[in-house]
Amino acid sequence: MMFLARKQRLSSGARRQSGVTLIEALVTFVILSV
């Protein structure tokens, strides 16, 4: 659930960097896992 909320936040900046969004999402997921 939290990951979804974070993903939506990243989507806001996705308009500027579409490719970075996936990387940011992965990084965020890893940080949350730790």
Determine the Cα–Cα distance for residues 27 and 30; give it in Å rounded to an integer. Answer: 5
pLDDT tens digits, 1-34? 566 666 666 556 555 555 667 788 888 889 988 8
pTM greater than the 0.85 cutoff: no
What is the per-residue pLDDT for 8?
A: 63
What is the per-residue pLDDT for 13?
A: 57
Check: CB of residue 31 under 8 Å from CB of residue 24: no
- Token reading at 32: 């949350």
Number of residues that make up the chain: 34
Check: CB of residue 24 under 8 Å from CB of residue 10: yes
Report helix, strand or coil for 20: helix
What is the per-residue pLDDT for 2?
A: 61
